[in-house]
A and B are shown apart, each in its own frame.
Chain A
């Protein structure tokens, strides 16, 4: 199985900050990676697919990059609505796997 490891597990930041979350795969997944945002008590929201393609309706301050085994999610200027938990997911092969999550907190 492909393991997905996110770092950091928790990130404290302020409104306006630029933040980056990293996701590493235990083997190459090409660009078959998605990012999701989840707020407490809510279903995850789809942000990015194929590592760098922004889902329709997602603000342009979100961007994704990477390929093979290393990926990043960047938020260029944090907004109050962005404080949430973020997950990466590989869909290169079954079993599909998620990272453990990165909780983005207000500093």
Chain B
């Protein structure tokens, strides 16, 4: 059974940093593109970042470019999102998602339960 378990969310002050983690199981992690998607309270879904299977390439939304860094450790079956210089607009549930294929042109067939990041003083 595929499982994606996010952790690392919480309350952080404006300008602060967090590192989100996503522990994957039930599939060959190194074979799939992985992506973070977020959802602000009562809002729609927003694609944040995607990383290729090897970790050699990463793509970011303009809203997070330069502040967020996606990475993966295929030896630990874990995806990460380092988020810096947080602002109120970053308050959201962050979902870890698995690509259906190895390609970056893919939908996301499994989602974690999400981890809430709240930016507030």
Q: A-B pairs with CB below 8 Å: how many?
A: 57
Say whether B73 faces chain A, with CB atoms less than 8 Å apart: no
| Interface size bracket, A side | 20 to 34
Cα–Cα distance between A92 and B59 once the two chains are bound (Å):
13
Cross-chain contact of A95 among B61, B110, B113 (Cβ < 8 A): B61
Cross-chain contact of B107 among A49, A95, A97 (Cβ < 8 A): A49
Interface contact B105-A49, CB-CB below 8 Å = no
The closest CB in chain B to the CB of A1 belongs to: B62
The smallest beta-carbon distance between B48 and chain A, in angstroms, is 9
Cα–Cα distance between A7 and B6 once the two chains are bound (Å):
32
Question: Given A89-B45, A95-B47, A46 and B107 touching (CB < 8 A)?
Answer: yes
User: In the complex, given contacts A43-B111, A46-B108, A49-B100, what are 10 additional A-B residue pairs having Cβ atoms less than 8 angstroms apart?
Assistant: A34-B108, A44-B95, A46-B100, A46-B107, A46-B111, A89-B47, A92-B105, A95-B59, A99-B44, A101-B44
